[in-house]
A and B are shown apart, each in its own frame.
Chain A
Amino acid sequence: MKLIYSYLQKFLPDLSIEPQKLRDDLNMIGHFTNFYNTIPLLKGDQGGFDYVFDLDIKVNRGDCLGYYGLAKDLSILYNIPLVLPQNFSYPNSNYTLPIKVDTTNVIRVMAVKIVHLKNSISPDWLQTFLKLHGVNSINTLVDLTNYVMFMYGIPNHAFDTAKSTDNLIWQMNPRYTEFVSLDKTKLTLDQSILMINNPSKALSLSFWGGQACAITETTTDTVVEMAIYNPTTVRQNSRQLKAVTEASIRLEKQLDPELIPVAFNALASLIIKHCGGQVGSQIFDYYPHPALAPVIEFDPKLPSIVSGINIPESFALDIVKKVGSRPDITQEEDLVEEVVRFYGYDKIPTNQPLKYKQLPDITPKVIYLIEQLKDKMVADGYDEVLTWPLVSIPTDPKTVITTQNSINSESIYLRQSLIPSLKAQLDQYNRYKLPGPKFFEIGKIYYLEKGQYIEKFALALYNQNPEKLRRDVPQNVSAKNIKFDDNFAEIILDNLPKPDSYTPIPSDSHAIELTNQIITLDANVISDQSTEVLLKHYQSTIDPNILWQISIADHYQNKYTFHVSYYNCDDKTAKKIHLAVFNLI
């Protein structure tokens, strides 16, 4: 959601806060604002700067997908007046629009006919406003409907009545199988789609206008409507048709039907102002079940109790009064959040953590076992790896659990064993020529048993020396819980005896992302120095950023063979350094 400072001032004329402070304050009251851009001032030619904010509005605040909702929040925060444009008074008309609403999915619709208008390309300010909101300019009438949607957060639509007639019907799709949207996208429909039609033509979806009655610069008569629907229906329709529009983003959230008269009034007024024409019908207002604000008992002490700091009761009551009714406020806790966020989360101290309290330890014992085993494996020289729980090939197709909708087509089965994943890990290490890999993983394995989904913890390890592998597996494991496969072993942990406690041992080892193969080279050295001195010497001579490992492969009298592994460099560089270090040039 974009927010232009000067347009926010249309609702908050007294707003004069610095843009950076405004961004920080918006963040603190729950409207995450990444950044703002500075642009030339949009209103008039008087120079100066304007600011465009980029906001992430959370799903509970559909009302803030319009400037009006955000302005209302800020008027409370800064204690400045919220100002609405002057009310437009509709002239009398004898004509009643023949609109029907044949579905319970419509919460409220307002509509009016405007005739003899003169449509054209939009004025510059309107084109720029829409461009900054990521919407293409079409013509003045269409652009004004979008402008009002951004300003008030409620989508609306204009029908060219030369094509649509006035006989609009809000209904669940009666028979249409295809719909062509305003941007000429063809959609296949079923009967679950909420539509606006006339008796013979599909005209519009609830959240997307259709080609059949599109407004053009030659349009002279229009029915404009503003509606709010059952948000679940819009959401389901939008997902089913894989179509997301600015309107669907708003209509699938809870919007305030009580705001429609205000926003619709602004729309009609702007159309008459910019396109001329006159009102050609009575206002149609379908609102069968007016929203009743819930009665909420509010204890002004509660914000202090919940926050843990003293928030004056007078402040709490003042905020509750100013916030008034809003679709997302249905219970006392909603009001508590309102009070605390306007009082300021930053007033809650950060240096008073919970104090220790002795409670029974309910840690599942298998967690202690896992931690102990990790320590044992590390002490035995194994590195821990983590692999993907979803795999491409099942170990046993009869018992494998398959995901239904994984978008990663190569990973659709839940692994039944850790060993195939560790084999893939070994392939990786071999590709990078890692000397002497020795590694383990503790993770879940999954399978179906008698229709039940089973998850078990398993330990798997790899050692290129099979004898050492057998020596390193935990010794208290029965044969049925252990599986050997080449140089890999896997143990199911759930059946093992478990310790009653575990004292963690911190570890600070540093992991490295291998980007090149490790180059291992030998060097023969004759020296009367001790092994330790020589190792220390060469270790300090070679840059630690390229030295992976140095060891003595052979030692006889004063003859040494060094085994040196280099990383972070190519073959040529490694050889050059190696020759220089060991004086082999």
Chain B
Amino acid sequence: MDLNQINKEINNCQTNTELEEIRVKYLGRLGLINQEFSKIKTAANPKAFGQQLNQLKTEVEELIKNQSLIVETSLMTSLPKKENNIFSLPKVGHLHPITQTERQLNEVFRKLGFSIYSGPEIVTDEFNFQRLNVPPNHPARDMQDSIYIKEPDYLLRTQGSTIESQLLVSQKPPIRCAFPCEVFRNEKVNKSNHFVFHHFQAVVVDKGITMKDLIGTMDLMFKTLYGPDVVVRYRCKYYPEVEPGVGPDMQCFNCHGKGCVVCKYAGWIEMGGSGMIHPKVLDMAGIDHHVYSGFAFGMGLDRWAMAQNNITDIRTFMGGNLAYKPNE
């Protein structure tokens, strides 16, 4: 049975119904692969024959799942937002916009084989900074004003990457995890700043992971969130825990790149940070960076969710005057 031929058939599928037909054809109880299994007893080398068939089965399953993701993503990004969620909850109560955004993102990553992870909010300096390649007195610490519980050892996590450093020591590669989380910064609360923010982070560690995987996956995420026409550029950006670092910027939705008040006349809006996990970070976690590589990226969710709901004050989001129209 030719895997390339099967791959072609799968790639030609534009809907889940077509994919289901292919699944039944090859993987169904009476499918072609199962029929092959019946020949195992007469094969010259039954063990090798069985292994080949199992491998073929796994590969076909993965190809179908990948195509399913592509089909669903293209559906999600090509339909108007209201039409997307045809399986929505009955309109009785309402989920917070942050939860809605987190679920949207979780779904993108779940379909790529990611687990959803979490971690404590009270963390040690070691996991919040040192294991992310930020030793004491490193100027990068100024990028994140911390709220300490017991200075200098215990603090409220300042970034989603803190969960990454905990994840890397507790799990062996291959790793695929995403984590929506709250992070804390010692900032004055006002209309546009808060001491608690919502972040979304994803981490992958495996053999052969590249920047192409990172940028392609981020782009898929942005297209799912913002629609197929979103323009995102990926540029060099420094973060101590990654190298090379990658900064995704979205072309300003207000001025389309010309420059305006919204984008501070840059034409672009910074969307978060990412990059290839720094070899020192992998080594500190006991993962051999000569064997494994990985990527990590994180982005804030508050501003996106606020923009989606025309909310102008970040305090509204947290214990403020946020409400939902009944039956909508």
Give A residues with C-beta under 8 Å from B: 27-30, 32-35, 58-61, 231-232, 235-236, 252-253, 305-309, 331, 333-334, 336-337, 340-341, 345-346, 348-364, 366-367, 371, 374-375, 377-390, 401-408, 411, 414, 421, 424-425, 428-429, 432, 434, 436, 438, 444, 446, 453, 455, 504-515, 548-549
B132 within 8 A of A: no
Say yes or no: A428 contacts B85, CB within 8 Å: no
Say yes or no: B211 contacts A383, CB within 8 Å: no
Name A403's contact: one of B96, B118, B149, B323 (CB within 8 Å).
Answer: B149
Segment among B21-29, B32-40, B47-55, B101-109 that sits at the interface with chain A: B101-109
Name A345's contact: one of B61, B177, B236 (CB within 8 Å).
Answer: B236
Residues of A within 8 A of B272 (CB): none
> Nearest chain-B residue to A549 (Cβ)?
B326
In this complex, how many residues of chain B approach chain A with their Cβ under 8 Å: the count is 118
Residues of B within 8 A of A408 (CB): 188-189, 195
B84 within 8 A of A: yes
Residues of B within 8 A of A404 (CB): 148-151
Residues of A within 8 A of B219 (CB): 350-351, 353
Name B100's contact: one of A385, A455, A508 (CB within 8 Å).
Answer: A508
Residues of B within 8 A of A548 (CB): 325-326
Say yes or no: A385 contacts B96, CB within 8 Å: yes
B94 within 8 A of A: yes
> Nearest chain-A residue to B85 (Cβ)?
A506
Say yes or no: B322 contacts A513, CB within 8 Å: yes
Say yes or no: B216 contacts A352, CB within 8 Å: yes
Residues of B within 8 A of A252 (CB): 139
> Nearest chain-A residue to B61 (Cβ)?
A358
Say yes or no: A507 contacts B154, CB within 8 Å: no
Say yes or no: B176 contacts A359, CB within 8 Å: yes
A194-B237 Cα distance, complex, nearest whole Å: 33
Say yes or no: A353 contacts B220, CB within 8 Å: yes
Give B residues with C-beta under 8 Å from A: 58, 61-62, 65-66, 69, 81-82, 84-85, 87-100, 103-104, 106-107, 110-113, 115-118, 120-122, 137-140, 142-143, 147-151, 154, 156, 171, 174-177, 182, 184, 186-189, 195-196, 204, 206, 210-213, 215-217, 219-220, 232-238, 240, 243-247, 249, 259, 264-266, 268, 270, 276, 278-279, 293, 309-313, 316-328
B129 → A minimal CB distance (Å): 14
Say yes or no: A453 contacts B139, CB within 8 Å: no
Chain B binding site: helix, strand, loop or mixed by DSSP? mixed
Say yes or no: A438 contacts B62, CB within 8 Å: no
Name B112's contact: one of A60, A352, A353 (CB within 8 Å).
Answer: A353
Residues of B within 8 A of A331 (CB): 279
Say yes or no: A382 contacts B238, CB within 8 Å: no
Say yes or no: B62 contacts A356, CB within 8 Å: yes
> Nearest chain-A residue to B91 (Cβ)?
A509
Residues of A within 8 A of B98 (CB): 386
Say yes or no: B143 contacts A59, CB within 8 Å: yes
Say yes or no: A349 contacts B323, CB within 8 Å: no
Cβ contacts A to B, 15 pairs, < 8 Å: A59-B143, A59-B238, A231-B139, A359-B115, A382-B93, A384-B93, A390-B196, A411-B189, A424-B319, A453-B120, A508-B82, A509-B324, A513-B313, A549-B325, A549-B327
A253-B326 Cα distance, complex, nearest whole Å: 55
> Nearest chain-B residue to A421 (Cβ)?
B319
Name A308's contact: one of B82, B211, B270 (CB within 8 Å).
Answer: B211
A326 → B minimal CB distance (Å): 13
A359-B111 Cα distance, complex, nearest whole Å: 11
Say yes or no: B115 contacts A361, CB within 8 Å: yes
A60-B142 Cα distance, complex, nearest whole Å: 12
B104 → A minimal CB distance (Å): 7
B198 → A minimal CB distance (Å): 8
A34-B259 Cα distance, complex, nearest whole Å: 9
A350-B323 Cα distance, complex, nearest whole Å: 38
A334 → B minimal CB distance (Å): 7
A408-B196 Cα distance, complex, nearest whole Å: 12
Say yes or no: A428 contacts B103, CB within 8 Å: no
Say yes or no: A352 contacts B212, CB within 8 Å: yes
Say yes or no: A511 contacts B97, CB within 8 Å: yes
Say yes or no: B268 contacts A403, CB within 8 Å: no
Say yes or no: A337 contacts B147, CB within 8 Å: no
Shortest 6 CB-CB contacts between residues of A and residues of B = A308-B210, A308-B212, A30-B236, A35-B265, A387-B319, A58-B238
Residues of A within 8 A of B121 (CB): 389, 444, 446, 455
Residues of A within 8 A of B116 (CB): 363, 367
Say yes or no: B235 contacts A30, CB within 8 Å: yes
Knowing A403-B147, A507-B95, say if A512 contacts B323 (CB, 8 Å): yes
A184 → B minimal CB distance (Å): 27
Name A506's contact: one of B88, B196, B311, B312 (CB within 8 Å).
Answer: B88
A444-B181 Cα distance, complex, nearest whole Å: 11
Name B236's contact: one of A341, A402, A515 (CB within 8 Å).
Answer: A341
Say yes or no: B92 contacts A359, CB within 8 Å: no
A34-B143 Cα distance, complex, nearest whole Å: 18
Say yes or no: A307 contacts B216, CB within 8 Å: no
A543 → B minimal CB distance (Å): 13
Residues of B within 8 A of A27 (CB): 233, 235, 249, 268
Say yes or no: B95 contacts A405, CB within 8 Å: no
> Nearest chain-A residue to B213 (Cβ)?
A354
Knowing A333-B279, A340-B211, A405-B147, say if A515 contacts B321 (CB, 8 Å): yes
Say yes or no: A363 contacts B117, CB within 8 Å: yes
A514-B309 Cα distance, complex, nearest whole Å: 12
Given contacts A29-B235, A382-B93, 11 further A-B contacts (CB under 8 A): A28-B233, A253-B139, A353-B220, A361-B115, A362-B117, A363-B117, A381-B93, A403-B148, A405-B147, A407-B188, A507-B88
A249-B269 Cα distance, complex, nearest whole Å: 26
Name A348's contact: one of B118, B211, B328 (CB within 8 Å).
Answer: B211
A330 → B minimal CB distance (Å): 10
> Nearest chain-A residue to B270 (Cβ)?
A32
Residues of A within 8 A of B244 (CB): 306-307, 333, 336-337, 340-341
Residues of B within 8 A of A28 (CB): 233, 235-236
A35-B220 Cα distance, complex, nearest whole Å: 28
Say yes or no: A307 contacts B321, CB within 8 Å: no
A227 → B minimal CB distance (Å): 19
Say yes or no: A407 contacts B186, CB within 8 Å: yes
Residues of B within 8 A of A361 (CB): 115
Say yes or no: A337 contacts B112, CB within 8 Å: no
A402-B210 Cα distance, complex, nearest whole Å: 43
Residues of B within 8 A of A61 (CB): 238
Say yes or no: A506 contacts B149, CB within 8 Å: no
Q: Which of B98, B139, B233, B312 lies at the interface centre, i.e. has the most chain A CB atoms within 10 A of its CB?
A: B139
A66 → B minimal CB distance (Å): 17
